[in-house]
Structure 1
Amino acid sequence: MADFIAGALGGACGVMVGYPLDTVKVRIQTQTNYNGIWHCIHSTYKMESVSGFFKGMSMPISTVSVSSSIVFGVYRNFLYQLCKLKYGTADIKPSKLDIFVSGYAAGAAQALVSSPADMAKVRLQTQTFPRHSSTCSLVAGPKYTGPIHCIITIVREKGFLGLYKGCSALMFRDCHSFATYFLSYAVFREWFVPVEQGSSELLGVLLSGGSAGVVAWGIATPMDVIKSRLQVDGVSQQKYRGAVHCITESVRQEGITVLFKGLSLNCLRAFPVNMVVFLTYEVLVKKIKLLTS
């Protein structure tokens, strides 16, 4: 239970740190009217002021807390049960494969829960609407007035399964990235906090968390691009028949580099976000376990 609670609070803190860059990343991945990161940032600020960078954040703050809780809770409990099954006891250092498999399970569980909220977040982030104008660069007027209205509109137009559009890409992204995420964190912890040297655990957690986030997003970015494009597809017109068609059409039209759109932003955002996530998680787990012991 401590892992679920600490994961929830760690995820919420991470969202607040990284959301503005996440908005820029989503817009670059899904829209072709930006020449680069700084052009996207300048255009967003010029049209929508600072508030444009935080569109749709209310939903992720609450839902990421839930999904982060699931990720850390499922990971720790799956790893605990896996070690008991394999070794007869959980009081043993797990192997790298054990960590990887547990992270994979956590990613699958997270994707199933977070898909509707992620759909609403991406559609709100890509709904550009000038502050003092009734025109919009994406649709003729603001189609969605907020996260709840966005979800209701999608269900009304496409049915409940419409909330899971792009879920296959999201599942593929999250399973591999979270498996890499937890494995990288474990490896970096061993590097940055060698027990025999008595290194600072706080600094080790910060460096390990940030570095693990960068590695995970390096793995996740290609499917993140496809996931985002599938989620905004159909707002005005339908372009893709599915994930494979989206990949082939995107590469055909924009080249293989399209799969790495937003990679630099993802890595730039991942380091501070995951420093905060893991630090919050590690501190709270210890505090909760002390209080309940």
Structure 2
Amino acid sequence: MPVPLALAPCSEDHLGPEMAAPPPHSLSGVCGVAVGYPLDTVKVQIQTEPKYSGIWHCVRDTYRRERVRGFYRGLSLPVCTVSLVSSVSFGTYRHCLAHICRFRYGSADAKPAKTDVTLSGCASGLVRVFLTSPTEVAKVRLQTQARRPSASGPSAAPPGCPAPPVCPVPGPKYRGPLHCLATVAREEGLRGLYKGSSALLLRDGHSFATYFLSYAILCEWLTPASHSQPDVLGVLLAGGCAGVLAWAVATPMDVIKSRLQADGQGQRRYRGLLHCVVTSVREEGPRVLFKGLALNCCRAFPVNMVVFVAYEAALRLGRGLLT
């Protein structure tokens, strides 16, 4: 899942429906994606490749084959689309919360209940699926496609030994994000671009509800008694912890989503979401549904802190330019 969308900082009422969705969210989203992407690549490979025995095995193998570039395969598309996705997600949350408050309390400015925040967060997660599914398919395909080892790897012939016969080695199937999207659309049709969308809906719906609700609760807990809002440190801590909680509940469906979206590069293994769940659990045990959980949680905290730091910095810059 892309970085869970951050709520407005302490300059706004963290539970209020009138939170603006300014341009700083675009910058903060890009920073969050760039910081967390290497760990996301490792996470996806662990979830889809049973050959990896752990995180460090995957990291060593990826670095041996492709060096640092291997951790950034498919980065350009998420970076280019994160602004649009963030705007749509945040706008959906804000407008949904405003309509709920207007319907329940007679005013969009009324303070919402935790149930209102949860429902609005769930709607935000569901809406973003229609934008992120093709991006996720391209990202996962690029992150998991086989690459040949570099010439400096173990496959190189030792000095002084006759070189083995040169055989043509096929290059990667996908040359980049746009080529990947075009290839999937041509070979698998429009449905191919939305593979795993059912798992993505289940993942983002309840994880964004968890994110927004936990952020709101944590902000209240971290607000000093003499203040109406938490300080910047409290907001950063609340955002980081909320991101960890959101990924903790999202990981099982994240595993299934990655497997469904990676399925299709060769012979198809899974007929659908339920078949993927049953097959994965039967072959690898229930623990398979929590593959990448540690990486998701470790990535969520610093990434969400980066999102908030970038957001605050851009807001201060914007205020300075306007004054």
Q: TM-score normalized by structure 1? A: 0.92
**Contact 2:200-2:254 within 8 A present in 1 as well:** yes
Q: Which residue of 2 aligns with 1:18?
A: 36
- 1:290 is displaced (CA, Å) by 9.3
* 1:265 aligns to 2:295 (yes or no): yes
Is residue 2:88 matched to residue 1:58?
A: no
Task: Please say which structure displays the higher CA radius of gyration.
Answer: 2
Q: Gaps spanning 5+ residues in structure 2: where?
A: 1-18, 156-168
- The corresponding residue for 1:211 is 241
What's 1:202 paired with? Answer: 232
Return the alpha-carbon distance in structure 2 between the equivalents of residues 188 and 53 of structure 1.
33
1:226-256 per-residue CA deviation (whole Å, 9 max, x = no partner) reads 0000001111111000000000000000000
Name the CA distance, whole Å, in 1 between partners of 2:46 and 2:197.
Answer: 20
The AA in structure 2 aligned to 1:14 is: G
Give the percent of matched residue pairs that are identical in Structure 1 and Structure 2.
57
Superposed CA offset, 1:72-119 (max 9, x none): 121112112211121111222210000000000000111111100010
What is the CA–CA distance in structure 2 between the aligned matches of 1:247 and 1:267, rounded to whole Å?
A: 22
The structure 2 residue matched to 1:122, chosen from 140, 145, 159, is 140
2:217 aligns with 187
Where does residue 97 of structure 2 map in the other structure? 79
1:196 aligns to what SS in structure 2? coil
Match 1:156 to one of 179, 183, 186? 186
Instruction: Give the 3-state SS of the residue equivalent to 2:40 in structure 1.
Output: helix
Residues of 2 paired with 1:43 and 1:196: CA distance? 53
The residue that corresponds to 2:255 in the other structure is 225
Match of 1:142 among 162, 172, 180: 172
Q: What is the CA distance between 1:63 and its match in structure 2? A: 1.4
Match status 1:254 vs 2:284: yes
TM-score by length of 2: 0.83
Distance 2:131 2:22 in 1: 14
Shift of the 86–287 alpha-carbon distance from structure 1 to 2, 3 Å rule, reads: farther
Q: 1:4, 1:73 within 8 Å by CA — same for their partners in 2?
A: no
Residue type of the partner of 2:307? V
Compare 60-69 and 235-244 and name the one that shifted more.
60-69
Between the two proteins, the alignment pairs up a number of residues equal to 289
Verify the 8 A CA contact 1:205 1:279 in the aligned structure 2: no
Query: Match for 2:190: what amino acid?
Result: F
1:242 corresponds in structure 2 to 272
CA positional deviation for 1:3: 0.9
Segment of structure 1 superposing worse, 65-74 or 3-12: 3-12
Q: Is the 8 A contact 1:124 1:144 kept in 2?
A: yes
Contact 1:2 1:289 in 2 (8 A): no
Cα distance in 1, alignment partners of residues 313 and 99 from structure 2: 23
Contact 2:126–2:205 under 8 Å retained in 1:
yes
Residues 204-236 of structure 1 deviation map (CA, whole Å, 9 limit, x = unaligned): 111011000000000000000000000011111
Within the candidate set 65, 86, 90, 1:68 is matched to 86
**Alignment partner for residue 197 of structure 2, among 156, 167, 170?**
167
State the superposition RMSD in angstroms.
2.4
Cα deviations by residue, 1:94-151 (Å, 9 ceiling, x for unpaired): 1000000000000011111110001000110111313536x9xxx9530100000000
Preserved contact between residue 78 and residue 102 of structure 1 (Cα < 8 Å) = yes
Deviates more, 1:67-76 or 1:54-63: 67-76
Change (3 A) 1:200 1:167: closer
* CA displacement, residues 237-287 of structure 1 (integer Å, 9 cap, x when unaligned): 110000000000000000000000000000000001111223434665687
One-letter amino acid of the structure 1 residue matched with residue 60 of structure 2: H
Greater share of helix residues, 1 or 2? Answer: 1
**CA spacing shift, 1:211–1:149, aligned 2, 3 Å:** same
